[in-house]
C-alpha cells in the first residue's frame, strides 16, 4: 500500500516544512505559552502532514525525564499482584507515563538486575510490590538509587508504602475463630519473608495473647505459596496427635490444596474443621458451603500507590511522610466456620 517510509520525520523536517525554527516547533509540541496563533497553525499543519512524532529517547536524553515508571513484582501470574498493577497502570497511563514491568520470581539477581535497568533507563519512579524483605543486596542498591519509590505491601527502609492492614485482618479473623471456641488454629500464610505474611502472623499472635492462649509453633506454616504444599501441610497437621480445629489459609492456590486435603482425609467443613481464607476468590465464594474470607481492595491499592508515586515525582525531593498508608481489610462471613467438635 504505502511506500516504505524512507525515514521518520524529525523536528528539523517539520521546521523546514513550516519555514520556522526548530525551537518554535519544540515549543508548540510542548504546549508552551507565548506562541502566535498563525505560527501554531502553520507548525501543526506541517506536523500532521509529515506525521511527526517526537523521538522519546532524544527527549529523555535532553530533558532528563523518561516518562517511565518501573514496576517490580515477584510473580505476575498471581492475580493479587496483577490486579493491583492493573489499577496502578491506569493511573500512570492517565498521567502520561508508561509502565516498565519486571517479574523477579523472588530471585535476588533479577531484583538487582532490574534496579540496574531502572538506573540506565533513568526511569522517573519505581513501584515495588511485595518481595522478600530479607534481600539486603537489593535494599542497598535501592538506597543508592535516589529516585522516587513507593512500596506496596513491602517494608523498605526510607521508602513510603501502601499496605493493606494485614495485621488487623489477621487479628479479626483469629479473634473470630477463637470466639467460636477454637484453641488450635493452623495458619498457612505464605512465605514468611513477605510483609503480609508476617503482619498476619502478628495479628494472629495478638489475638491469642488477648485470649491468654499459647500458640503452637507447629501450627504456623510459613511456606511458599502453592496448592500441593498446602495439601501436604494440612495432611501432616491432620496426622499429628493434636489436630487443629480451624485453618486460616491464603485464598489463591492454597485454599484449593487445603480443601483437597480435607476431602481426602474424609473431613468436612465447617463441622470437622473451620476454614477462613485470605483474599476472596471465586472458589471461596462458590464452594459449598461458602468460605469466609478476608478481602481488601486491590485495584484501589494500586491506584493509591500510583498516585503517591506521581506526587513524589512531581513534588521533587520533599522528604514527605514515610509513614505507611494502610488500607482496611474486610471480613466476609460465610458458612465455613463452626464451633469445634467436643473432643
Partner DNA sequence: GGCATTCCTGGAAACGTTTCCATACTCTGC
Partner DNA sequence: GCAGAGTATGGAAACGTTTCCAGGAATGCC
The residue ranges that bind a copy of itself (CB under 8 A) are: 1-2, 4-5, 53-58, 60-61, 66, 68, 71, 75-77, 79, 82-83, 85-86, 89-90, 93, 98-103, 105, 110, 113, 116-117, 119-122, 143-144, 146, 227, 252-253, 255-256, 259-260, 281-283, 285-288, 299
- Residue 340: name the closest of 276, 275, 291, 274 by CA: 274
* CA 333-161-112 angle, 5° bins: 115
Q: Residue 7 binds what, of DNA, a copy of itself, none (CB under 5 to 8 Å, by partner type)? A: DNA
At a CB cut-off of 8 Å and minimum separation 6, what does 136 contact?
A: none
**Cβ proximity to DNA, 27 vs 154, nearer residue:** 27
Single out the segment in contact with DNA by CB under 7 A; choices: 31-39, 159-167, 175-183, 198-206.
Answer: 31-39
**Cβ proximity to a copy of itself, 204 vs 269, nearer residue:** 269
**Cβ proximity to DNA, 53 vs 271, nearer residue:** 53
- Taking the complex as a whole, the smallest distance from the CB of residue 74 to a copy of itself amounts, in Å, to 11
96 near DNA, rule: CB under 7 A: no
Q: Residue 182 binds what, of DNA, a copy of itself, none (CB under 5 to 8 Å, by partner type)? A: none
**Cβ proximity to DNA, 42 vs 106, nearer residue:** 42
Give the 3-state secondary structure of 174-199: HHHHHHHCCCCEEEECCCCCCHHHHH
DSSP state of 96: T
Binders of DNA among residues 46 to 85 (CB under 7 A) are: 52-55, 58-59, 61-63
- Taking the complex as a whole, the smallest distance from the CB of residue 244 to a copy of itself amounts, in Å, to 20
Cβ atoms of 175 and 107 within 8 Å: the answer is no
Q: Residue 338 binds what, of a copy of itself, DNA, none (CB under 5 to 8 Å, by partner type)? A: none
- Taking the complex as a whole, the smallest distance from the CB of residue 313 to DNA amounts, in Å, to 15
Cβ atoms of 90 and 303 within 8 Å: the answer is yes
**What's the rounded Cα separation, in Å, for the pair 225 and 191?**
7
Length of the chain: 343
The residue behind cell 492492614 is 165
17 near DNA, rule: CB under 7 A: no
**Cβ proximity to DNA, 36 vs 77, nearer residue:** 36
45 near DNA, rule: CB under 7 A: no
**Cβ proximity to a copy of itself, 55 vs 339, nearer residue:** 55
At a CB cut-off of 8 Å and minimum separation 6, what does 35 contact?
A: 24, 27, 28
**Cβ proximity to a copy of itself, 144 vs 239, nearer residue:** 144
The correct pick among 4, 34, 51, 286 for binding DNA (CB under 7 A) is 34
Instruction: List the beta bridge partners of residue 68.
Output: 98
The correct pick among 16, 26, 76, 311 for binding DNA (CB under 7 A) is 26
CA distances, 280 to each of 122, 256, 259 (Å) = 38, 13, 15
- Residue 166: name the closest of 56, 279, 310 by CA: 279
Handedness of CA 111, 112, 116, 119 (dihedral sign): positive
Q: Residue 20 binds what, of a copy of itself, DNA, none (CB under 5 to 8 Å, by partner type)? A: DNA
**Cβ proximity to a copy of itself, 196 vs 257, nearer residue:** 257
At a CB cut-off of 8 Å and minimum separation 6, what does 295 contact?
A: 279, 280, 329, 330, 332
**What's the rounded Cα separation, in Å, for the pair 219 and 248?**
10
- Taking the complex as a whole, the smallest distance from the CB of residue 235 to a copy of itself amounts, in Å, to 16
> How many residues of this chain interact with DNA, rule: CB under 7 A?
31
The correct pick among 16, 22, 113, 332 for binding DNA (CB under 7 A) is 22
Amino acid at each position: 500500500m504505502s511506500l516504505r517510509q524512507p525515514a521518520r520525520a524529525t523536528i528539523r523536517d517539520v521546521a523546514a516544512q513550516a519555514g520556522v525554527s526548530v525551537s518554535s516547533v519544540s515549543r508548540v509540541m510542548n504546549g508552551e505559552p507565548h506562541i502566535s496563533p498563525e505560527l501554531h497553525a502553520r507548525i501543526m499543519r506541517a506536523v500532521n502532514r509529515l506525521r511527526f512524532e517526537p523521538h522519546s529517547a532524544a527527549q529523555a536524553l535532553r530533558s532528563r525525564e523518561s516518562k517511565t515508571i518501573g514496576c517490580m513484582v515477584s510473580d505476575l501470574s498471581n492475580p493479587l499482584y496483577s490486579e493491583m498493577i492493573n489499577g496502578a497502570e491506569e493511573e500512570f497511563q492517565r498521567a502520561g507515563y508508561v509502565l516498565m514491568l519486571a517479574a523477579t520470581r523472588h530471585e535476588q539477581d533479577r531484583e538487582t538486575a532490574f534496579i540496574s535497568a531502572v538506573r540506565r533507563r533513568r526511569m522517573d519512579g519505581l513501584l515495588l510490590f511485595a518481595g522478600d524483605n530479607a534481600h539486603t543486596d537489593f535494599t542497598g542498591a535501592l538506597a543508592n538509587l535516589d529516585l522516587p519509590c513507593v512500596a506496596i505491601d513491602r517494608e523498605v527502609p526510607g521508602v513510603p508504602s501502601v499496605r493493606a492492614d494485614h495485621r488487623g485482618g489477621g487479628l479479626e479473623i483469629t479473634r473470630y475463630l477463637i470466639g467460636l471456641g477454637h484453641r488450635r488454629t493452623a495458619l498457612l500464610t505464605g512465605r514468611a519473608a513477605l510483609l503480609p505474611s508476617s503482619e498476619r502472623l502478628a495479628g494472629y499472635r495478638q489475638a491469642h495473647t488477648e485470649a491468654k492462649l499459647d500458640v503452637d509453633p507447629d501450627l504456623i506454616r510459613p511456606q511458599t505459596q502453592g496448592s500441593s504444599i498446602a495439601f501436604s501441610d494440612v495432611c501432616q497437621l491432620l496426622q499429628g496427635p493434636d489436630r487443629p480445629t480451624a485453618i486460616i489459609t491464603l485464598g489463591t492456590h492454597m485454599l484449593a490444596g487445603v480443601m483437597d486435603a480435607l476431602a481426602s482425609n474424609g473431613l468436612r467443613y465447617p463441622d470437622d474443621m473451620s476454614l477462613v481464607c485470605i483474599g476472596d476468590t471465586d472458589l471461596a465464594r462458590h464452594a459449598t458451603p461458602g468460605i469466609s474470607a478476608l478481602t481488601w481492595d486491590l485495584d484501589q491499592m494500586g491506584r493509591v500507590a500510583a498516585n503517591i508515586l506521581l506526587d513524589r515525582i512531581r513534588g521533587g525531593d520533599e522528604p514527605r511522610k514515610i509513614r505507611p498508608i494502610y488500607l482496611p481489610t474486610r471480613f466476609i462471613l460465610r458458612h465455613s466456620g463452626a464451633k469445634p467438635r467436643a473432643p
